[in-house]
A = this chain, B = another copy of it.
Amino acid sequence: MTIGLAHAELIAVLSAVTREEPRVMTIRSGDALPSGPFELGHRSLQAGLREWVRDQTGHPVGYLEQLYTFADRDRTRENAGSRTISISYLGLVREQAAPGAGRPEWHGWYEYFPWEDHRKGRPDILSGITGRLQDWADAAPAHREHRRRRIDFTFGLHDATWNEDLALQRYELMYEAGLVTEAGCSREQSLGRQMFADHRRILATAIARLRAKIKYRPVVFELMPEKFTLLQLQRTVEALAGLTLHKPNFRRLIDQQELIEETGEVTTETGGRPAKLFRYRHAVLEERALSGSKLPLSRN
């Protein structure tokens, strides 16, 4: 029985939204996510990542959340018997944060996942994807029905509707079906920009997690400047979700949650009628907004 000695590596998905586009910090011209070894000096995993990101990029990280941990047999290292344990994190960064010395490269989420952006309608690329997925399903008669149901559900076909939270499931399905380069598909046939190793999969995990989270925790504000208009807030949520929202209802939702307050100022930079500026109510609301339970409670 071999004791588990392994290399520990931290991988960060740092995201920001600038000019209505969600972006991720990358290295190697967009080919990989920033990562580094977990060092002995670090107090904890979280602290280690924080330090390391600040040193490398000059960006202070606001919100930071662990995503997933996985292990792989070492690919690149000399000692092939060893293993690497990768711990991935999702971090949110303010739009206005000064760019650091390392001159980080930001790339739009949807370069890597063009089928995930539905703000301008259902992307054309999707019909090609679902077509090829259907072929993949038909190629295995034994699993055909099951695969079809999975495809329909995951991509919102037939009676199902598109669910933006399923970004990871969609990527995994495409991976299984061999539609992405990481799965050994040819470069011409591959869909979306690829990344080193499983980094694109980690990015998909981060996108899915964040899209789910904005619905029940007020994390969007970690991405907003201090003062913002309601439309700016809506556009940021839309960028993350890859969807367009219903303006009146979005506003109603926001102000019934009482998460923000007027600053008293207005801005005319938006084109038409001047828009009120709002700010997030930090102090009062550190807790809460965990919304209500969907269980039918009984009182006694």
Contact = CB atoms under 8 A, between A and B. Distances in A.
- In the complex, which of the residues A6, A9, A42 has the most CB atoms of chain B within 10 Å of its own CB atom? A6
Interface in A61-97: 66, 68-71, 81, 83, 85, 87
A71 B39 contact: no
A157 to B, nearest CB: 12
Given A7-B5, A163-B293, A40 B246 contact: no
Contact of A70 (B41, B44, B70, B146): B44
Given A44-B71, A71-B45, A244-B298, A5 B6 contact: yes
A237 B1 contact: no
Contact of A4 (B39, B66, B245, B247): B39
B38 A71 contact: yes
A5 B5 contact: yes
A142 B5 CA distance: 45
Interface in A250-283: 250, 252-253
A257 to B, nearest CB: 11
A237 to B, nearest CB: 7
B245 A297 contact: yes
Contacts of A83: 8, 38, 40
Nearest to A283: B146
A300 interface: yes
A290 B164 CA distance: 11
Given A4-B7, A153-B288, A287-B154, A81 B40 contact: yes
A250 B294 CA distance: 10
A83 to B, nearest CB: 7
Given A45-B71, A287-B149, A295 B5 contact: no
A246 B298 contact: yes
A295 B146 CA distance: 30
A300 to B, nearest CB: 7
Contacts of A243: 295, 297
B121 A8 contact: no
A249 interface: yes
B3 A37 contact: yes
A120 to B, nearest CB: 10
Contacts of A288: 153
A1 B39 contact: yes
A150 interface: yes
A2 interface: yes
A187 B39 CA distance: 35
A202 interface: no
17 contacts: A5-B5, A6-B38, A38-B71, A121-B300, A146-B286, A149-B284, A154-B287, A163-B293, A164-B293, A165-B290, A215-B293, A241-B295, A245-B296, A246-B297, A247-B298, A250-B295, A252-B296
